[in-house]
Amino acid sequence: MEINDQEIREENRKLRYLRFLVDFSILSIQQDDLSFEEAQELVENVKRAACSLFPGKEETFELIYRPRFNRVIRERFGFIPSENPSSY
């Protein structure tokens, strides 16, 4: 299967957009007056967007981005969601 320049550009565009979403969401959790529930909802919205951009890559989101979000939530609220106890 040959990948052309347009496909590479599109993949790079989607990656830049996802990085922007993640970075913006992390800043929002750190700086905005969000409740814990709102912060969790924001993370889930980013995950849905990531899975929409990259179908079938849910596990990749969990490996790469979930730990970053958990760290920021822990720093902000003092704890993280209990459904992911391996991140404590």
The tens-digit pLDDT sequence of the chain (88 residues) is 677 999 999 999 999 999 999 999 999 999 999 999 999 999 999 999 999 999 999 999 999 999 999 999 999 999 766 654 444 3
| pLDDT in the model for residue 87 | 41
Q: What's the sign of the alpha-carbon dihedral 34, 39, 44, 50?
A: positive
| pLDDT in the model for residue 79 | 78
| pLDDT in the model for residue 3 | 75
Stated pTM of the model = 0.83
Angle between helices 36-53 and 5-31 (to 10 degrees): 180
| pLDDT in the model for residue 1 | 60
